[in-house]
Amino acid sequence: MKKFALVLSGCGVFDGSEIHETTLTMYSISKHDASYDIFAPDIEQHHVVNHLSGNEADDKRNVMVESARIARGAVKDLKELNAASYDALIFPGGFGVAKNLCTFAFDGPDCKVNPEVERVLKDMKNEGKPIGALCIAPVLFAKVFGNGVELTIGQDRGTAEAVETMGGVHKTTNHAEVVIDEKNKLFSTPCYMLDATIAQIGEGADNIVKAMLEYM
């Protein structure tokens, strides 16, 4: 049974992991007879957003603790992720990727990546194992690897230009399409970077998981 390491950035689209993308990725992994463990960094969120009003809340929360909401408590500290123990790595989207796992939401191409996130990305790539990213998460590929890596964030020109500034090669995509950088074993799909239905998110998550399994 192939095993994925799934990295979360909190709970909720505006300040953490996008819940639909995360859950449907988990479903797809399980549906295709693979398994997963969930990881998150044990750090404070950049901020907390009231998902009803969209306003910033006067509160502090921990990324790992919030990720445990989606993981039903079964979440591990990202520091424990050993690339040798997994066949693939995958990142759902959500603003938490761009706020907690890196600072892309605030600094654009000049962003910094959480050291543990950077470590696991490099470790998995050095092991020659597939790495997937949904929605905004592919910006991590551009920032950490650069050097012409191919990826998609859908069709947003501003984000695509930032990706290219960081050294990535952006491919414009529509719903559920997967860009595969075969040389680097990097996989990306746009999901909610496009105006999407939950069915389209499910199709995108399923397509990227299936594609990654073919490279394991």
Q: Which pLDDT does position 216 carry in this prediction?
A: 97
Tokens at 14, concatenated: 């505006």
Share of the chain above pLDDT 70, in %: 100
Predicted confidence at residue 15, as pLDDT, reads 98
The kind and range of the H/E element at 56 are: strand 56-57
- pLDDT, mean of residues 23-45: 98
What tens digit of pLDDT does each residue of 38-60 get? 999 999 999 999 999 999 999 99
Pairing label, strands 179-181, 186-189: antiparallel
151 — pLDDT class (breaks 50, 70, 90):
very high
pLDDT given for residue 202 in this prediction = 98
Band of pLDDT at residue 128, cut at 50, 70 and 90: very high
- Nearest CA-CA partner of 122 in 134, 131, 135, 111: 131
Residues taking part in catalysis: 135
Compute the average pLDDT of residues 19-39.
Answer: 98
Residue 148 · residue 131 · CB < 8 Å: no
Mean pLDDT of the chain: 98
pLDDT tens for 69-120 read: 999 999 999 999 999 999 999 999 999 999 999 999 999 999 999 999 999 9
pLDDT tens digits, 192-211: 999 999 999 999 999 999 99
DSSP 25-51: HHHHHHHTT-EEEEEE--SB-S-EE-T
Contacts of 151 (CB under 8 A, 6+ apart): 133, 138, 141, 142, 163, 168, 169, 170, 171, 179, 181, 186, 188
* Percentage of the chain modeled with pLDDT above 90: 100
Nearest to 182 by CA among 153, 151, 155: 151
Topology of domain 3-213 in CATH is Rossmann fold (3.40.50)
Q: How big, in percent rounded to 5, are the helix, strand and coil portions of the chain?
A: 40, 20, 40
Assess contact for 159 and 136: CB atoms under 8 A: yes
